[in-house]
Structure formats: C-alpha cells, structure tokens
Amino acid sequence: MTKVKASNNNSAMRVMLMAGLVAAGLSACGGGGSETAKPLALQGTAAVGLAVAGGQVRAKCLKGEGTTSTAADGSYKLSIPAGELPCALELTHASSGLQLRSLAVPGGNGEMANLTLLTEMVTTRLARRDAAAYFAGFDAAAGKALSVDKVKLAQADVSKLLAPTTEIRNLGDFLGTPLKAATSANPNQGDAQDKLLDALHMRLSKARQVQLLGVLANAADPVDPAPFQPWITVEPQAVSMLAGASQTLMADLNYPPNVVYVRLPVKWALQEANGGAVEALNGRYTAPMANGVYHVRATREDFGSVSADVTVTVGQLLSLDQRSISGVKKARNAAVLDQAAWAELWNQHVAGNSPAPALPAVDFGTQMVVAVFLGERANGCASVAISGVASNGAALQVAYQEGKPPADNVSCTQVVSAPAHLVRLPRSALPVEFVLKP
C-alpha cells in the first residue's frame, strides 16, 4: 500500500509540473490572454487644396475595419483593434457630396494614407475600374492581391497622364507623403503638396477629372485624350519692390507627353531697357533705382510663342529704417495697421538710442508698416532686407532675405547684432504672410 501511495503522489507531482511548464510556455509566447495584438493605427489628411473638414473616413482592411471623421485641418486618426494591412479607404463628405479613395499598403506608405485627387487616381489605376466600386467590393482576396509594386506602377501611370497638366514627379509617394492642408481659417498654412493639389483642381475641371479617371480605369496605356496645350505661369504675377532690391521670380509650366527636361525650359528677359536686371536662366531679378512700372517676361524655350509677364512696381514701398542692432531682441515679424501700435513698435525698435530717432510719418488711412526682426545674432555680419510685397489673392506676401554668411577670409565684428528692416507700403485688408526668400 505504501508503494502505491508514493506512486500516486509522484504522478500528481508530474501532472502539476507539466501544467506549470505549459502555462509558462503560453505566457512566454503571449498566450493565455495576458497580451493583446497592437491595433492598426491609420492616419492621414483629406484635402482638395483646402482641407476637407467633417468628412467620414471608412477603412476596410485585410483584417478589420473602422470609421472616423476628419478634423478641421482635414486630418484623421483611425485605430482598428487587431487590424492588418493592406487597407482600402473611402472619404465621404455629406454636405458637398465629395468622395475620395485611397490605399494603405505594408512596405509602402504603411499606416499613412491621405485622401486626395491623386490617391483617387492611383486607386482607380490600380483597380482598373471605378474606385467606388473597388472599395465597395474590397475583401480579404482584394487585400491579398495588393502589393507595393502594383501601387508604384499605378502611380507612374498617373504621373504620365498628368504630365501635360502639372509636374508632380517630385512628390515621391502620392498616398503617404505627410500633407499639411490649408484651411478656410488659415489659407496660407498649406505645404508644397497642398499647393500642388490646388494647382490640379484649378487646372482640371470636374468634367476633366471624370475624363482622366475614365482613362485610368479603362486604357491600357494612360494617355490624355485632349491635345497638348503648352502654358506657362509666373509667381508672383505682380510685385512691389524697393529700388535696387532683388528677388527670384518663379515660373511653372506643363510638359509634353513622354518628355523630361534636364532643366526648366524658361528664359527671363526685361521688357524695358531701364527695367533693372534679370538672370536669364534662374529668374533672379534686381529692381532699378528709378521709380516706375516695369515688366519681366518668362518665355518657354520649347514653345517660343508661349510667355507670361511679371509686373514690377518700384516706388510704392518706402524703407523707414534698416539697421544691424535693433532694440527688438527676439525674432518676430510685424504688420502694423494703426498709430498706437506703430508708436509702440518704434519705441521698442529704437530703445537704447540717445537721442531716439523721430517716429516716421505713416498715414494709416492709406498705408501700413511691415517689419522683420531677426533677433539677436552672434556677430555684426548678420543682416535682413525686405525685398518685395505681392498679393496672391488670399494673402499679402512680404518677401525678405537674410544676409549670406561671409567668405572664410572675411572677419565679422564681434558684437551681438539684432538686424531689422521696417517698410511702409499701401494699406491692404489681406492677411500678411512673411516669406523668407533665398
């Protein structure tokens, strides 16, 4: 009896030991319910130039699905428990009727997926059918068929199709490049991608968008059915500059099908003999010393009859003060629209000067003041200059430049500087945007 009892005890101990080992193994492998899978965290921005606020974003993934809404800046975040890429996404904006689709693919854009006209086009091309129908039928089989290579091929076809409309090849990833969109409350906050979307919607009517989406869905070789029409635009179209100031003028153009240029085929030229100076290939323009209205023309080298002019006005701007040591020691920009604010800013600017320079006269009924303060810098070689002011319709853009570092063999005075430039100009009701120029 004693032997039998010992045998039973040993068996019980062996069972308990095995149970402990199994439990330990489950724990080490994440079993036993002690750990949960990390949720899929999709994010991006919905925009058509301006952000799409209050839209519904729905995602269907290889595993899991979910719904969320876009914020005021068009951004969204969507967490899908136990979700797994790839995913198809759809934006629906009830009040406008807008719908856009996109894709999130592992190894490509990953969990970042914007919703734009470009993502709609890529989705359409990859699906080779209407993107809405593709999203409606998206399931596990469709998810398994997605790949990074297929997305890249679809994006290349979209780039080819849009080449006659705008140059978009510099945008590396149409689906997942982080996007900061302009909003109605802040129309100037959009990044370069947002400006590209603006250009697309400006140049493509709704009918043209439908036409091109049809090409992407159905054509073996996506070629724009409309005949190529070369164009060129300039930025800014009109600018006020200080006499002798310099600014780089910009041009944009469309490309013929299947053509890639080594450089932008544009040449700049003055239209008045006394209109200052311009570098033919890069558009670097220096205003003349005499007041007046002048014109600088950008002409396509590949289509010589296609050109656009920049109108330059010299004399509307007046430099009120430009110095290397301002009393304003922290970097800031200012737009002044009334006498009290002007007096306060001037006193801050000339603090420490004895006697203090007199307050320059400004008629705030018809004029305003803009100022750029760089803040404290380590030596006396730092400088700043406001070079021009232009309106883009949404904002008054104040262009300014910082002085370039001196050559190695040039010594700078060892004094803490605080460069500033204050300029008077015609009053504008537009919001003011300060733009640092090269």
Q: Are 111 and 102 in contact (CB under 8 A)?
A: no
Could you tell me the pTM of the whole model?
Answer: 0.67
Give 115's DSSP letter: B
Q: What is the pLDDT of residues 53-109, one digit of tens each?
A: 999 999 999 999 999 999 999 999 999 999 999 999 999 999 999 999 999 999 877
Pick the residue with more confidence: 369 or 26?
369
435's tokens: 């733009």
| Mean pLDDT value of segment 225-245 | 91
Compute how many other C-beta atoms are within 10 angstroms of the C-beta atom of residue 358.
8
Structure tokens at 77: 């975040």
Write out the two tokens for 271. Answer: 């239209």
For 146-188, write each residue's pLDDT tens digit.
999 999 999 999 998 998 888 787 888 999 999 999 988 887 7
> Is 8 a residue whose pLDDT tops 80?
no
> Judging by beta carbons within 10 Å of its beta carbon (0-12, 13-18, 19+), is residue 145 exposed, middle or buried?
exposed
Q: Evaluate if residue 32 carries a pLDDT over 60.
A: no
Average pLDDT score, the chain: 88
Q: Kindly tell me if the per-residue pLDDT of 193 is higher than 80.
A: yes
Please work out, in degrees rounded to the nearest 5, the angle formed at the alpha carbon of residue 286 by the alpha carbons of 281 and 291: 140
Q: What is the mean pLDDT of residues 219-237?
A: 90
Residue 179: predicted pLDDT:
95
pLDDT band at 318 (very low <50, low <70, confident <90, very high): very high
By percentage, how much of the chain surpasses pLDDT 70? Answer: 90
Domains of the chain: 40-205+211-218 (2.60.40.10), 232-314 (2.60.40.1080), 318-436 (no CATH)
Which pLDDT score, from 0 to 100, does residue 187 have? 77
What DSSP letter does each residue of 365-433 carry, written as one string? TTEEEEEEE---BSSTT--EEEEEEEE-SS-EEEEEEEPPPPPTT-----S-BB-EEEEEEE--SSPEE
**Both structure tokens of 125:** 């091309």
Angle 13-16-21 (CA atoms, 0-180°, nearest 5)? 125
Beta-bridge partners for 309? 297
